[in-house]
Amino acid sequence: MRAKKRALILASTPILNLVAAFATSLGEAGAFDRPMDMKQLSRRNFLGLGAAAAATALIPARAFAAGTTSNAGGLAAERALSFFHTHTGERLSTAYCAAGEYIPAALKHVNTLLRDFRVNQVKPIDPELLDLLFELNGTLGTAQPFHVISGYRSPETNHMLQERGGAASGVASHSLHMDGKAIDIRVPGVRLEHLRDAARSLKGGGVGFYPGSNFVHVDTGGVRYW
């Protein structure tokens, strides 16, 4: 039922939104919630983007649902995510995987949004973490973006957070945030306990529950809960 609901939402996306999404993924438009300037697109690029969007529109909407097996890894071949960074105010909606292949330009946009904003350092985010979030989104059955509290964390920032929070901070000396393999999130309209339980049900890595700070930590390390 949740997969069908999500499929209906995706199926109703206007064609121009699909063009904009592909432009973002391919680097033809600005990455972070900037309106596309159609005048700056050449006729060839616009036609190319339109063709790509039209092709996407022909893909059965259920193929975007995390529960649909469309490739050897058990995930849909077409995968997209939406983020809102709670500290920077940046937004990103992007198709990061098409026909079972990761899209380099889209991954670059994700890396930038999930950078360590305190020191403005960018590190590649583990694509498996994105796939875990994609599965989580399907399990939750929501169209809301992930609200990001923390993505990549530099060694300097990690040490600073440890010092600031002391022993009760929950910040590991070598946090998986430092490897681009962890993210702290919440989802509008989803109870934090439900988000935690949904993440645990995937058994895709670590899940930390922080009700005092209103977020859930997920990572692609070993399966463990705290």
Q: What is the pLDDT of residues 165-194, one digit of tens each?
A: 755 566 887 899 999 999 999 999 999 999
Under DSSP, is residue 91 helix (H, G, I), strand (E, B) or coil? strand
What would the pLDDT profile of 139-165 be if each residue is shown by its tens digit?
999 999 999 999 999 999 999 988 887
Pairwise pLDDT comparison (109 vs 45), residue with the higher score: 109
Of 27-36, 55-64, 67-76, 216-225, which gets the smallest average pLDDT?
55-64
- Residue 37 pLDDT exceeds 60: no
Helix axis angle for 15-26 and 104-113, nearest 10°, is 80
- Residue 44 pLDDT exceeds 50: no
Residues of the chain above pLDDT 90, percent: 61
The confidence score (pLDDT) of residue 167 equals 53
Instruction: Please enumerate in sequence order all residues whose Cβ is within 8 A of that of 13, keeping only pairs 6 or more positions apart, or say none.
Output: none
C-alpha dist (Å) from residue 22 to 16, 79, 109:
10, 12, 12
- Residue 73 pLDDT exceeds 90: no
The confidence score (pLDDT) of residue 174 equals 83
The confidence score (pLDDT) of residue 74 equals 83
Under DSSP, is residue 62 helix (H, G, I), strand (E, B) or coil? helix
